[in-house]
């Protein structure tokens, strides 16, 4: 861009005006919060001085009055603190604006009249003083969608008043750093592609970054969808699924949205804790509020009190490719299935009659409710938790006694009711597997696995241990939910699930019942499924299971992460049932190297890692099949260079050289990836092919496969 032309002068003047306004507002906010801080400290000091005389006598006759006085005194402090925190958020936003105020401009000519509006788009909006004039439009605003969805020409956007039509005259992008204009250009489709290719060619960052400058049309449609109660995105590796999920969360919190959500009303279900840390910066950069992220293990902890095997430990054990791991995986497949949900539901229906000590309820020699009547009451309304129905039953008995005799029920009768109302989830779950004949009877009409005897034997043995197996923990979590109901997450209105393909029908049944009134966004990739085989029909199962009013399935087949060479190589490990397109960014071909022993393999690793570090790569991922395998490489490599061993409980930024099992690499990306155990011993099955696909598609620029001994026959290189 010629810096001497008129457009450059206009844009510099506009930037100067914007920076000046942001600076003014920042100074005002800083001064206001300095006063707020002083007032808070002064008020707290006054409260201490005025109430210290009464604090020592809180348990005396005047104690209640003293507490009331203290509470009333604290109200102004709480109000001032809320103002202070709000202003601090504004200060953070304004500092961001001073660095990069905006990244795009569109000139939009409205069809009704010849009015042309210049719209500058940034991460946050900025008004001119106390006026309604917007110097910067928030990227989430309706009109900003024109930038993401259209090339110059006819365009439209949906506003609260309806669809606004017009023409996009100019689509301009800026590179602004530290408040300084480096360059800008008017973007057509080819120029925008070139810019995106340039962005993708950069090295990765320690944490996931926002993509507001480069959101694609299909991504924007997903981010802004508010029509569907269930939105499923099937996106290939590198298609931006996770970024879309986070930007969608930020969009749903946009304050000008007619039905916007608060951060505490959105929950993100992430695959593991490391992933939570990796994405932790994105939403705070895009929105004034943050959202809650959890892993499924935390949901289980809210449902069951017993210690259980975590999902990561479960994955570690089933990836070992031995008879025990195979049976463990088959047990999970059965207990996570729709058929097993039916079995548990039948079991719950039988609990009152078969497993509860229910007797006729009598008072003063008269029968109030017979055992049969009680059981019938507990078996109706199957979606109501059993504990809730027991509460209703106790109320009904109390009302019946008082209605006839005008006296409250006696302690002995209340104790009788409490006795049969006691529910022990673990003991009940044990009863389901205690007797093979009973289990087969309750499973009548359901096709059981061919190895059901082995699964039942394994389950019965495992239930005698202190720690539940993961498959039993999930099943017992569902049983507990049906018995007691959900006790957490009652405020959640939107659930965003990443790596959705890895969950079983039982997981989704739990989620459906825990978040009865929530909408769902589910992001997944069938080709990246762990520990089970799935195809596209899986999404139909989810849709039926969650049973929301309006749903949609969006497919995203273009990968933006890997070079063409890496993606072409990675596609060798998957079938062609799901098309995978690349963004046509070129780089080095993947390489396979074999070493005769561990020492030689480590020497090769050191050489290749040092080359990558000299090339400026910030993150290098050494990915192996299991945590056990990572420990071998880590112990050998740590003596030669700094290296991070990533475990299931790691909560640090990924930087430098990191070693991890494949299941912890999901959702992450690295400048270079070295698969360090690509031998026939480790990778030989169809399930192993998917593991290799997952590992390979973590790489942005370079992919190297190494092994000790014979390379896996799954490789085609």
pLDDT in tens, 144-177: 999 999 999 999 999 989 999 999 999 999 999 9
Domain termination residue (choose one: 136, 163, 186): 186
Q: Which of 315, 387, 400, 246 is nearest to 628 (CA)?
A: 315
| Paired tokens of 659 | 């070693």
Claim to verify: residue 107 and residue 90 sit in the same structural domain: no
pLDDT beyond 70 at 269: yes
Q: What is the pTM (predicted TM-score) of this model?
A: 0.90
The CATH number of whichever domain residue 657 belongs to comes to 3.40.50.300
- Annotated binding site, which residues? 235-242
What are 556-588's pLDDT values in tens digits?
999 999 999 999 999 999 988 888 998 888 999
At residue 550, the 3 state secondary structure works out as: coil
| Paired tokens of 116 | 């042309």
Q: Higher pLDDT residue, 393 or 677?
A: 677
pLDDT beyond 90 at 237: yes
- Please state, in angstroms and as integers, the Cα–Cα distance from residue 603 to each residue in 179, 615, 633, 674, 708, following that order: 46, 19, 11, 13, 12
pLDDT beyond 60 at 239: yes
HEC secondary structure over 495-513: EEECCHHHCCHHHHHHHHH
**What's the CA dihedral at 358, 359, 361, 364 to 10 degrees?**
-150
pLDDT of residue 365: 79
The mean pLDDT of 46-55, rounded to a whole number, is 64
Burial class (CB in 10 A: 0-12, 13-18, 19+), 363: middle
- Annotated binding site for ATP, which residues? 235-242
- Separation of alpha carbons 246 and 158, rounded Å: 22
In this structure, is the dihedral angle defined by the CA atoms of residues 486, 489, 494 and 497, taken in order, positive or negative?
Answer: negative
Claim to verify: residue 594 and residue 642 sit in the same structural domain: yes
Claim to verify: residue 35 and residue 13 sit in the same structural domain: yes
Q: 583-621 burial, b if ≥16 CB within 10 A, otherwise e?
A: bebebeebebbbbeeeeebbebbeebbeebbeeebbbbb
Claim to verify: residue 598 and residue 653 sit in the same structural domain: yes
Claim to verify: residue 610 and residue 692 sit in the same structural domain: yes
- Measured in degrees and rounded to the nearest 5, phi and psi for residue 368 equal -85, -50
Per DSSP, helices labelled H in 56-153 are 63-99, 145-149
Strand partners, 170: 107
What are 536-547's pLDDT values in tens digits?
999 999 999 999
The arrangement of strands across the sheet holding 230-235 comes to 292-294, 266-269, 494-497, 519-524, 230-235, 551-556
pLDDT of residue 298: 96
- Please state, in angstroms and as integers, the Cα–Cα distance from residue 210 to each residue in 240, 280, 490, following that order: 11, 11, 29
pLDDT of residue 397: 84
* Whole-angstrom Cα Rg for the chain: 30
Note down the domain range covering 111.
Answer: 102-186
User: Where residue 103 falls among pLDDT bands split at 50, 70, 90?
Assistant: very high
Does some domain include residue 691?
A: yes
Q: Which of 263, 250, 11 is nearest to 141 (CA)?
A: 250
Does some domain include residue 643?
A: yes
At residue 712, the 3 state secondary structure works out as: coil
Claim to verify: residue 24 and residue 68 sit in the same structural domain: yes
Claim to verify: residue 87 and residue 124 sit in the same structural domain: no
Claim to verify: residue 177 and residue 123 sit in the same structural domain: yes
User: Where residue 434 falls among pLDDT bands split at 50, 70, 90?
Assistant: very high
Claim to verify: residue 163 and residue 71 sit in the same structural domain: no
pLDDT beyond 80 at 696: yes
Domain termination residue (choose one: 99, 124, 156): 99
For tokens 């500092």, name the residue. Answer: 95
pLDDT beyond 80 at 653: no
Domain count, the chain: 3
């Amino acid at each position: 861009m010629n810096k001497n032309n008129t457009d450059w002068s206009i844009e510099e003047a506009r930037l100067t005006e914007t920076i000046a306004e942001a600076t003014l507002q920042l100074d005002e906010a800083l001064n206001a919060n300095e006063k707020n801080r002083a007032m808070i400290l002064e008020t707290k000091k006054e409260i201490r001085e005025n109430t210290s005389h009464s604090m020592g006598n809180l348990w005396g006759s005047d104690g209640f009055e003293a507490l009331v006085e203290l509470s009333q005194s604290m109200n102004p402090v709480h109000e001032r603190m809320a103002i202070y925190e709000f202003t601090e958020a504004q200060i953070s936003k304004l500092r961001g604006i001073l660095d990069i105020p905006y990244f795009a401009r569109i000139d939009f000519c409205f069809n009704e009249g010849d009015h042309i509006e210049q719209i500058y788009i940034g991460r946050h909006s900025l008004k001119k003083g106390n006026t309604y004039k917007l110097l910067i439009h928030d990227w989430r605003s309706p009109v900003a969608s024109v930038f993401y969805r259209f090339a110059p020409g006819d365009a439209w956007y949906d506003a609260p008043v309806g669809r606004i039509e017009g023409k996009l005259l100019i689509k301009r992008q800026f590179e602004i750093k530290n408040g300084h204009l480096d360059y800008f250009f008017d973007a057509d489709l080819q120029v925008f592609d070139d810019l995106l290719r340039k962005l993708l060619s950069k090295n990765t960052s320690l944490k996931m970054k926002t993509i507001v400058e480069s959101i694609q049309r299909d991504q924007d449609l997903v981010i802004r969808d508010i029509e569907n109660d269930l939105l499923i995105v099937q996106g290939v590796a590198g298609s931006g699924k996770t970024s879309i999920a986070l930007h969608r969360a930020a969009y749903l919190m946009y304050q000008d949205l007619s039905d916007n959500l608060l951060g505490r009303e959105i929950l993100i279900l992430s695959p593991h804790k490391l992933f939570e840390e990796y994405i932790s910066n994105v939403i705070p950069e895009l929105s004034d509020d943050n959202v809650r992220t959890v892993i499924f293990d935390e949901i289980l902890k809210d449902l069951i009190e017993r210690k259980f095997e975590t999902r990561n430990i479960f994955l570690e054990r089933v990836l070992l490719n031995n008879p025990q791991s195979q049976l463990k995986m088959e047990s999970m497949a059965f207990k996570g299935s729709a058929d097993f949900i039916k079995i548990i539901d039948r079991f719950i229906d039988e609990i009152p009659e078969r497993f509860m000590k229910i007797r006729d309820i009598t008072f003063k020699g008269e029968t109030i409710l017979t055992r049969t009547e009680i059981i019938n009451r507990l078996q109706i309304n199957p979606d109501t938790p059993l504990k809730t129905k027991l509460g209703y039953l106790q109320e009904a008995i109390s009302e019946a006694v008082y209605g006839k005799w005008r006296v409250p029920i006696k302690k002995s009768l209340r104790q009788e009711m409490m006795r049969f109302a006691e529910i022990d989830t673990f003991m009940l779950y044990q009863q389901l597997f205690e007797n093979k004949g009973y289990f087969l009877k309750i499973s009548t009409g359901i096709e059981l696995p061919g190895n059901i005897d082995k699964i039942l034997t394994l389950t019965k043995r495992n239930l005698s241990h202190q720690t539940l197996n993961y498959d039993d923990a999930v099943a017992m979590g569902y049983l507990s939910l049906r018995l007691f109901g959900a006790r957490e997450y009652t405020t959640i209105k939107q659930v965003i699930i990443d790596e959705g393909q890895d969950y079983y029908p039982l997981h989704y049944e739990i989620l459906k019942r825990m978040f009865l009134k929530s909408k769902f966004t589910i992001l997944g990739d069938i080709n990246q499924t762990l520990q089970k085989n799935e195809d596209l029909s899986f999404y139909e199962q989810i849709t039926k299971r969650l049973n929301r009013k309006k749903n949609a399935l969006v497919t995203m087949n273009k990968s933006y992460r890997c070079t063409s060479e890496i993606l072409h190589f990675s596609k060798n490990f998957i079938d062609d049932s799901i098309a995978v397109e690349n963004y046509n960014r070129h780089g080095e071909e993947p390489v396979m190297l074999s070493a005769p022993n561990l020492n030689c393999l480590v020497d090769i690793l050191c050489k290749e890692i040092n080359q990558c570090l000299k090339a400026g790569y910030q993150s290098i991922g050494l990915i192996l099949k299991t945590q056990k395998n990572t420990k071998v490489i880590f112990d050998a490599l740590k003596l030669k260079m700094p290296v991070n061993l990533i475990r299931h409980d790691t909560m640090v930024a990924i930087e430098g050289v990191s070693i991890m099992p494949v299941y912890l690499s999901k959702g992450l990306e690295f400048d270079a990836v070295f698969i360090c155990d690509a031998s026939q011993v480790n990778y030989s099955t169809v399930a192993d092919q998917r593991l290799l696909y997952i590992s390979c598609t973590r790489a942005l620029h370079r992919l190297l496969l190494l092994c000790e001994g014979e390379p896996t026959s799954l490789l085609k290189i």
